[in-house]
Chain A
Amino acid sequence: MTTEATPPSVGAVLRDALRDSYLVILTFVVMFVGVGRMSALAGLDAVQTALMTLLTVAAPAQAAAMSILAAGSGGGTAWIAAVTSVVVINLRFIVMVASVMARLPRLSMPRSVATLGFLSASSFAVIFPRMIGEAPPRRPALYVGLTCLCCALSATAGAVIGHRSSGAVSPLAGALLGAVVPTYFATLIAGQWKDKALMRNAFAGAVLVPLAAPLLGPSALLLVPLAFAVVTTLVQRRKSHA
Protein backbone atom coordinates (compact mmCIF):
# COMPACT_ATOMS: atom_id res chain seq x y z
CA MET A 1 0.00 0.00 0.00
CA THR A 2 1.30 3.44 -0.88
CA THR A 3 0.52 6.56 1.11
CA GLU A 4 0.66 9.99 -0.48
CA ALA A 5 2.04 12.73 1.74
CA THR A 6 -0.64 15.33 2.53
CA PRO A 7 0.37 18.79 1.34
CA PRO A 8 0.89 21.20 4.25
CA SER A 9 -1.97 23.53 5.14
CA VAL A 10 -1.92 27.25 4.35
CA GLY A 11 -1.30 27.91 8.07
CA ALA A 12 1.71 25.59 8.09
CA VAL A 13 3.15 27.26 4.98
CA LEU A 14 2.55 30.69 6.55
CA ARG A 15 4.40 29.60 9.70
CA ASP A 16 7.23 28.34 7.49
CA ALA A 17 7.34 31.65 5.61
CA LEU A 18 7.33 33.68 8.85
CA ARG A 19 10.05 31.51 10.40
CA ASP A 20 12.30 32.16 7.41
CA SER A 21 11.55 35.86 7.00
CA TYR A 22 10.93 37.28 10.48
CA LEU A 23 14.29 39.07 10.56
CA VAL A 24 13.55 40.73 7.22
CA ILE A 25 10.06 41.66 8.44
CA LEU A 26 11.49 43.29 11.57
CA THR A 27 14.20 45.05 9.60
CA PHE A 28 11.75 46.23 6.93
CA VAL A 29 9.54 47.93 9.50
CA VAL A 30 12.52 49.92 10.75
CA MET A 31 14.12 50.50 7.35
CA PHE A 32 10.91 51.81 5.77
CA VAL A 33 10.28 54.24 8.62
CA GLY A 34 12.97 56.32 6.93
CA VAL A 35 11.27 55.94 3.55
CA GLY A 36 7.96 57.06 5.06
CA ARG A 37 9.65 60.08 6.59
CA MET A 38 11.13 61.02 3.19
CA SER A 39 7.72 60.54 1.53
CA ALA A 40 6.11 62.95 3.98
CA LEU A 41 8.80 65.56 3.26
CA ALA A 42 8.32 65.07 -0.51
CA GLY A 43 4.59 65.80 -0.23
CA LEU A 44 3.00 62.33 -0.42
CA ASP A 45 0.09 61.60 1.90
CA ALA A 46 -0.14 58.40 3.95
CA VAL A 47 -2.30 56.57 1.37
CA GLN A 48 0.09 57.41 -1.47
CA THR A 49 3.04 56.33 0.69
CA ALA A 50 1.37 53.02 1.57
CA LEU A 51 0.34 52.32 -2.03
CA MET A 52 3.77 53.08 -3.47
CA THR A 53 5.54 51.01 -0.81
CA LEU A 54 3.23 48.01 -1.22
CA LEU A 55 3.71 47.93 -4.99
CA THR A 56 7.40 48.87 -5.04
CA VAL A 57 8.91 47.29 -1.87
CA ALA A 58 12.26 48.85 -2.75
CA ALA A 59 13.72 51.34 -0.28
CA PRO A 60 16.55 52.55 -2.60
CA ALA A 61 14.14 53.26 -5.47
CA GLN A 62 11.65 55.05 -3.24
CA ALA A 63 14.38 57.03 -1.50
CA ALA A 64 15.76 58.15 -4.87
CA ALA A 65 12.31 59.20 -6.13
CA MET A 66 11.51 61.06 -2.91
CA SER A 67 14.87 62.88 -3.00
CA ILE A 68 14.10 64.09 -6.53
CA LEU A 69 10.64 65.33 -5.49
CA ALA A 70 11.90 66.94 -2.29
CA ALA A 71 14.73 68.73 -4.13
CA GLY A 72 12.10 70.42 -6.27
CA SER A 73 14.49 70.88 -9.20
CA GLY A 74 13.24 70.15 -12.71
CA GLY A 75 9.95 71.97 -12.17
CA GLY A 76 7.01 70.17 -13.77
CA THR A 77 9.16 67.31 -15.05
CA ALA A 78 10.45 66.23 -11.62
CA TRP A 79 7.74 63.59 -11.44
CA ILE A 80 9.00 62.01 -14.70
CA ALA A 81 12.55 61.91 -13.33
CA ALA A 82 11.25 60.33 -10.11
CA VAL A 83 9.32 57.57 -11.92
CA THR A 84 12.29 56.95 -14.26
CA SER A 85 14.63 56.53 -11.27
CA VAL A 86 12.24 53.96 -9.77
CA VAL A 87 12.15 52.03 -13.06
CA VAL A 88 15.94 52.05 -13.55
CA ILE A 89 16.71 50.99 -9.97
CA ASN A 90 14.09 48.24 -10.02
CA LEU A 91 15.26 46.64 -13.27
CA ARG A 92 17.20 44.25 -11.00
CA PHE A 93 13.87 42.55 -10.21
CA ILE A 94 13.86 41.01 -13.71
CA VAL A 95 16.68 38.63 -12.85
CA MET A 96 15.36 37.91 -9.35
CA VAL A 97 11.86 37.01 -10.60
CA ALA A 98 13.32 34.87 -13.39
CA SER A 99 15.59 33.01 -10.94
CA VAL A 100 12.72 32.17 -8.57
CA MET A 101 10.36 31.36 -11.47
CA ALA A 102 12.81 28.74 -12.73
CA ARG A 103 12.32 26.88 -9.43
CA LEU A 104 8.51 27.02 -9.41
CA PRO A 105 6.00 24.76 -11.13
CA ARG A 106 4.42 26.28 -14.23
CA LEU A 107 1.77 28.78 -13.07
CA SER A 108 -0.99 30.71 -14.83
CA MET A 109 -0.35 34.43 -15.29
CA PRO A 110 -2.69 35.55 -12.45
CA ARG A 111 -1.08 33.04 -10.08
CA SER A 112 2.39 34.14 -11.19
CA VAL A 113 1.52 37.74 -10.41
CA ALA A 114 0.04 36.78 -7.03
CA THR A 115 3.15 34.70 -6.24
CA LEU A 116 5.90 37.04 -7.41
CA GLY A 117 4.17 40.43 -7.70
CA PHE A 118 5.50 41.63 -4.33
CA LEU A 119 9.03 40.23 -4.60
CA SER A 120 11.73 42.46 -3.13
CA ALA A 121 15.52 42.08 -2.97
CA SER A 122 15.29 40.99 0.67
CA SER A 123 12.45 38.50 0.21
CA PHE A 124 14.41 37.12 -2.77
CA ALA A 125 17.42 36.62 -0.51
CA VAL A 126 15.24 34.60 1.89
CA ILE A 127 13.37 32.62 -0.76
CA PHE A 128 16.09 31.75 -3.25
CA PRO A 129 18.49 29.80 -0.98
CA ARG A 130 15.51 27.91 0.42
CA MET A 131 14.26 26.99 -3.07
CA ILE A 132 17.61 25.57 -4.19
CA GLY A 133 18.57 24.11 -0.79
CA GLU A 134 18.19 20.59 0.60
CA ALA A 135 14.68 21.16 1.99
CA PRO A 136 12.67 23.20 -0.54
CA PRO A 137 9.12 24.13 0.50
CA ARG A 138 6.47 21.53 -0.32
CA ARG A 139 4.04 24.15 -1.64
CA PRO A 140 6.62 26.42 -3.30
CA ALA A 141 4.27 28.90 -5.00
CA LEU A 142 2.29 29.48 -1.82
CA TYR A 143 5.48 29.76 0.25
CA VAL A 144 6.96 32.32 -2.15
CA GLY A 145 3.72 34.33 -2.33
CA LEU A 146 3.27 34.44 1.45
CA THR A 147 6.92 35.33 2.13
CA CYS A 148 6.78 38.19 -0.40
CA LEU A 149 3.44 39.42 0.99
CA CYS A 150 4.61 39.35 4.63
CA CYS A 151 7.72 41.36 3.72
CA ALA A 152 5.72 43.82 1.59
CA LEU A 153 3.15 44.37 4.35
CA SER A 154 5.85 44.98 6.96
CA ALA A 155 7.51 47.49 4.62
CA THR A 156 4.17 49.25 4.15
CA ALA A 157 3.56 49.33 7.90
CA GLY A 158 7.03 50.82 8.46
CA ALA A 159 6.50 53.46 5.77
CA VAL A 160 3.14 54.53 7.21
CA ILE A 161 4.62 54.69 10.73
CA GLY A 162 7.47 56.81 9.40
CA HIS A 163 5.04 59.07 7.55
CA ARG A 164 2.92 59.59 10.67
CA SER A 165 5.68 59.96 13.25
CA SER A 166 8.98 61.35 12.12
CA GLY A 167 11.94 60.60 14.39
CA ALA A 168 10.48 57.31 15.65
CA VAL A 169 13.87 55.59 15.45
CA SER A 170 17.22 57.19 16.27
CA PRO A 171 19.75 57.23 13.38
CA LEU A 172 22.15 54.99 15.33
CA ALA A 173 19.47 52.40 16.13
CA GLY A 174 18.23 52.57 12.54
CA ALA A 175 21.73 51.97 11.16
CA LEU A 176 22.28 49.08 13.57
CA LEU A 177 18.99 47.42 12.64
CA GLY A 178 19.78 48.01 8.98
CA ALA A 179 22.92 45.96 9.51
CA VAL A 180 20.75 42.90 10.21
CA VAL A 181 20.22 42.64 6.45
CA PRO A 182 23.81 41.97 5.27
CA THR A 183 24.82 39.83 8.26
CA TYR A 184 21.73 37.61 8.01
CA PHE A 185 21.95 37.35 4.21
CA ALA A 186 25.60 36.30 4.52
CA THR A 187 24.46 33.30 6.55
CA LEU A 188 21.88 32.46 3.86
CA ILE A 189 24.62 32.47 1.21
CA ALA A 190 26.80 30.31 3.47
CA GLY A 191 24.06 27.66 3.44
CA GLN A 192 25.15 26.77 -0.12
CA TRP A 193 28.85 26.61 0.81
CA LYS A 194 29.32 23.20 -0.85
CA ASP A 195 28.27 24.49 -4.29
CA LYS A 196 31.52 26.07 -5.46
CA ALA A 197 30.02 27.57 -8.62
CA LEU A 198 27.36 29.46 -6.63
CA MET A 199 29.98 30.60 -4.11
CA ARG A 200 32.25 31.89 -6.88
CA ASN A 201 29.36 33.93 -8.23
CA ALA A 202 28.38 35.23 -4.78
CA PHE A 203 31.97 36.34 -4.06
CA ALA A 204 32.30 37.87 -7.51
CA GLY A 205 29.05 39.80 -6.91
CA ALA A 206 30.30 40.95 -3.50
CA VAL A 207 33.55 42.28 -4.96
CA LEU A 208 32.52 43.49 -8.41
CA VAL A 209 29.11 45.08 -7.76
CA PRO A 210 30.39 47.78 -5.33
CA LEU A 211 33.33 48.42 -7.69
CA ALA A 212 31.04 48.80 -10.71
CA ALA A 213 28.33 50.78 -8.90
CA PRO A 214 29.96 54.23 -9.35
CA LEU A 215 30.10 53.56 -13.11
CA LEU A 216 26.84 51.69 -13.71
CA GLY A 217 24.71 53.04 -10.87
CA PRO A 218 21.94 50.80 -9.50
CA SER A 219 22.06 48.69 -12.70
CA ALA A 220 25.35 47.24 -11.44
CA LEU A 221 23.36 44.86 -9.24
CA LEU A 222 21.62 43.53 -12.35
CA LEU A 223 24.33 43.65 -15.01
CA VAL A 224 27.49 42.53 -13.20
CA PRO A 225 26.17 39.26 -11.70
CA LEU A 226 24.39 38.43 -14.96
CA ALA A 227 27.53 38.97 -17.06
CA PHE A 228 29.69 36.98 -14.63
CA ALA A 229 27.16 34.11 -14.53
CA VAL A 230 26.93 33.93 -18.33
CA VAL A 231 30.72 33.88 -18.71
CA THR A 232 31.36 31.27 -15.98
CA THR A 233 28.53 29.01 -17.20
CA LEU A 234 29.78 29.11 -20.79
CA VAL A 235 33.39 28.48 -19.71
CA GLN A 236 32.32 25.53 -17.58
CA ARG A 237 30.23 24.05 -20.41
CA ARG A 238 33.14 24.43 -22.83
CA LYS A 239 35.50 22.69 -20.36
CA SER A 240 33.08 19.81 -19.80
CA HIS A 241 32.69 19.31 -23.56
CA ALA A 242 36.46 19.42 -24.20
Chain B
Amino acid sequence: MLEPWQIWAVALGGGLCTLGIRMLPMVALRNVGEGRVRDILDRTGFGVMGGLVAQTALSTGQALFVHAGGAPLRSLGMAWGILAVAIAFGLSVRFKWKLPAALIALAFLGLGGLAFSA
Protein backbone atom coordinates (compact mmCIF):
# COMPACT_ATOMS: atom_id res chain seq x y z
CA MET B 1 0.00 0.00 0.00
CA LEU B 2 1.43 3.38 -1.00
CA GLU B 3 1.72 6.32 1.37
CA PRO B 4 -0.38 9.39 0.49
CA TRP B 5 2.79 11.39 -0.32
CA GLN B 6 3.89 8.70 -2.77
CA ILE B 7 0.61 8.95 -4.65
CA TRP B 8 1.01 12.74 -4.71
CA ALA B 9 4.57 12.23 -6.00
CA VAL B 10 3.22 10.22 -8.93
CA ALA B 11 0.34 12.60 -9.73
CA LEU B 12 2.22 15.86 -9.32
CA GLY B 13 5.73 14.56 -10.09
CA GLY B 14 4.64 12.83 -13.31
CA GLY B 15 2.78 15.96 -14.41
CA LEU B 16 5.57 18.38 -13.57
CA CYS B 17 8.22 16.15 -15.17
CA THR B 18 6.15 16.15 -18.37
CA LEU B 19 5.92 19.94 -18.22
CA GLY B 20 9.71 20.02 -17.78
CA ILE B 21 10.16 17.77 -20.84
CA ARG B 22 8.03 20.17 -22.89
CA MET B 23 10.15 23.09 -21.64
CA LEU B 24 13.47 21.50 -22.69
CA PRO B 25 13.29 22.66 -26.34
CA MET B 26 12.14 26.11 -25.16
CA VAL B 27 15.43 26.42 -23.25
CA ALA B 28 17.76 24.50 -25.55
CA LEU B 29 16.40 25.29 -29.03
CA ARG B 30 15.63 29.00 -28.96
CA ASN B 31 16.94 29.63 -32.49
CA VAL B 32 15.46 26.82 -34.55
CA GLY B 33 14.33 29.44 -37.10
CA GLU B 34 15.10 28.40 -40.66
CA GLY B 35 17.29 25.94 -42.50
CA ARG B 36 18.38 22.40 -41.93
CA VAL B 37 17.20 22.04 -38.33
CA ARG B 38 13.68 23.15 -39.23
CA ASP B 39 13.65 20.77 -42.21
CA ILE B 40 14.61 17.93 -39.91
CA LEU B 41 11.98 18.90 -37.33
CA ASP B 42 9.25 19.18 -39.99
CA ARG B 43 10.09 15.74 -41.31
CA THR B 44 10.35 14.31 -37.81
CA GLY B 45 6.94 15.78 -37.03
CA PHE B 46 5.38 13.93 -39.94
CA GLY B 47 7.25 10.77 -39.03
CA VAL B 48 5.82 11.03 -35.52
CA MET B 49 2.33 11.54 -36.95
CA GLY B 50 2.72 8.52 -39.24
CA GLY B 51 3.92 6.41 -36.33
CA LEU B 52 1.10 7.64 -34.12
CA VAL B 53 -1.52 6.83 -36.77
CA ALA B 54 -0.13 3.34 -37.38
CA GLN B 55 0.19 2.50 -33.68
CA THR B 56 -3.31 3.70 -32.77
CA ALA B 57 -4.81 2.01 -35.86
CA LEU B 58 -3.20 -1.29 -34.84
CA SER B 59 -4.30 -1.00 -31.21
CA THR B 60 -7.88 0.16 -31.89
CA GLY B 61 -8.31 -2.46 -34.64
CA GLN B 62 -7.12 -5.10 -32.21
CA ALA B 63 -9.37 -3.76 -29.44
CA LEU B 64 -12.44 -3.83 -31.70
CA PHE B 65 -11.87 -7.41 -32.81
CA VAL B 66 -10.75 -8.70 -29.42
CA HIS B 67 -14.34 -9.33 -28.31
CA ALA B 68 -14.42 -12.39 -30.57
CA GLY B 69 -11.18 -13.63 -28.98
CA GLY B 70 -8.25 -15.55 -30.44
CA ALA B 71 -4.95 -14.50 -31.94
CA PRO B 72 -5.99 -14.80 -35.63
CA LEU B 73 -8.86 -12.35 -35.10
CA ARG B 74 -6.57 -9.92 -33.28
CA SER B 75 -4.21 -9.97 -36.27
CA LEU B 76 -7.18 -9.48 -38.58
CA GLY B 77 -8.28 -6.54 -36.42
CA MET B 78 -4.84 -4.93 -36.72
CA ALA B 79 -4.89 -5.38 -40.50
CA TRP B 80 -8.46 -4.01 -40.61
CA GLY B 81 -7.35 -0.96 -38.62
CA ILE B 82 -4.51 -0.24 -41.06
CA LEU B 83 -6.89 -0.72 -44.00
CA ALA B 84 -9.35 1.76 -42.44
CA VAL B 85 -6.59 4.34 -42.08
CA ALA B 86 -5.54 3.74 -45.70
CA ILE B 87 -9.15 4.32 -46.79
CA ALA B 88 -9.30 7.62 -44.86
CA PHE B 89 -5.98 8.68 -46.35
CA GLY B 90 -6.96 7.71 -49.91
CA LEU B 91 -10.34 9.47 -49.76
CA SER B 92 -8.72 12.56 -48.30
CA VAL B 93 -6.09 12.71 -51.05
CA ARG B 94 -8.64 12.01 -53.82
CA PHE B 95 -11.50 14.27 -52.71
CA LYS B 96 -9.75 16.57 -50.19
CA TRP B 97 -12.23 15.39 -47.53
CA LYS B 98 -11.39 15.41 -43.84
CA LEU B 99 -14.38 14.58 -41.65
CA PRO B 100 -16.32 12.57 -44.31
CA ALA B 101 -13.20 10.51 -45.07
CA ALA B 102 -12.62 9.85 -41.36
CA LEU B 103 -16.30 8.89 -40.83
CA ILE B 104 -16.35 6.48 -43.80
CA ALA B 105 -13.17 4.82 -42.52
CA LEU B 106 -14.64 4.70 -39.02
CA ALA B 107 -17.83 3.05 -40.36
CA PHE B 108 -15.69 0.49 -42.19
CA LEU B 109 -13.76 -0.23 -38.99
CA GLY B 110 -16.91 -0.38 -36.85
CA LEU B 111 -18.74 -2.70 -39.26
CA GLY B 112 -15.76 -5.04 -39.27
CA GLY B 113 -15.64 -5.01 -35.48
CA LEU B 114 -19.37 -5.72 -35.21
CA ALA B 115 -19.31 -8.45 -37.86
CA PHE B 116 -16.40 -10.34 -36.37
CA SER B 117 -17.38 -9.93 -32.72
CA ALA B 118 -20.98 -11.06 -33.35
Contacting pair B88 A184 (CB below 8 A): yes
Chain A contact-residue range equals 35 or more
Q: Name the contact of B64 in the complex, choosing from A92, A175, A204 (C-beta under 8 A).
A: A175
Contacting pair A183 B6 (CB below 8 A): no
Say whether B15 faces chain A, with CB atoms less than 8 Å apart: yes
Residues of B within 8 A of A125 (CB): 49, 52
Bound-state CA distance A210–B45 (Å) is 16
10 contacts between A and B (CB under 8 A): A95-B48, A179-B109, A187-B97, A187-B99, A198-B46, A201-B50, A202-B46, A222-B48, A229-B41, A229-B44
Contacting pair B93 A97 (CB below 8 A): no
Known A95-B44, A179-B81, A179-B110; contact A58-B18, beta-carbon cutoff 8 A: yes
Give chain A interface residues in 217-242, CB to chain B under 8 Å: 220-222, 224-226, 228-230, 232-233, 237
Query: What 0/1 pattern do residues 2 to 36 of B give for CB contact below 8 A with A?
Result: 11001111111111111101111111011011001
Query: What 0/1 pattern do residues 52 to 77 of B give for CB contact below 8 A with A?
Result: 11111111110110010000000000
Residues of A within 8 A of B17 (CB): 83, 86-87, 90
Contacting pair A94 B85 (CB below 8 A): no
Known A23-B102, A98-B29, A232-B43; contact A52-B51, beta-carbon cutoff 8 A: no
Residues of B within 8 A of A132 (CB): 42
Interface residues of B (CB under 8 A from A): 1-3, 6-19, 21-27, 29-30, 32-33, 36-61, 63-64, 67, 81, 84-86, 88-89, 91-93, 97-99, 101-102, 105-106, 109-110, 113, 117
CB proximity of A177 to chain B, nearest CB, Å:
9
Residues of A within 8 A of B105 (CB): 183, 186
Bound-state CA distance A150–B84 (Å) is 27
Q: Lowest 3 A-B CB distances belong to which pairs?
A: A225-B47, A55-B15, A209-B51
Name the residue on A nearest B61 (C-beta): A179
Residues of A within 8 A of B9 (CB): 79, 83
Contacting pair B23 A172 (CB below 8 A): no
Say whether A208 faces chain B, with CB atoms less than 8 Å apart: yes
Name the residue on B nearest A190 (C-beta): B92
Contacting pair B22 A97 (CB below 8 A): yes
Bound-state CA distance A182–B53 (Å) is 5
CB proximity of B117 to chain A, nearest CB, Å:
7
Bound-state CA distance A81–B98 (Å) is 40
Say whether A78 faces chain B, with CB atoms less than 8 Å apart: yes
Contacting pair B47 A226 (CB below 8 A): yes
Contacting pair A182 B6 (CB below 8 A): no
Can you add 9 more A-B contacts, CB < 8 Å, to A55-B14, A113-B19, A209-B52? A43-B2, A62-B14, A69-B7, A102-B37, A186-B53, A202-B50, A204-B47, A221-B52, A229-B44
CB proximity of B103 to chain A, nearest CB, Å:
8
Contacting pair A201 B47 (CB below 8 A): yes
Contacting pair B41 A99 (CB below 8 A): yes
Bound-state CA distance A56–B71 (Å) is 33
Bound-state CA distance A78–B6 (Å) is 9
Q: Name the contact of A102 in the complex, choosing from B42, B50, B51, B89 (C-beta under 8 A).
A: B42
CB proximity of A130 to chain B, nearest CB, Å:
11
Known A43-B7, A172-B117; contact A189-B53, beta-carbon cutoff 8 A: yes
Q: Name the contact of A96 in the complex, choosing from B23, B48, B84, B88 (C-beta under 8 A).
A: B48
Residues of B within 8 A of A225 (CB): 43-48, 50-51
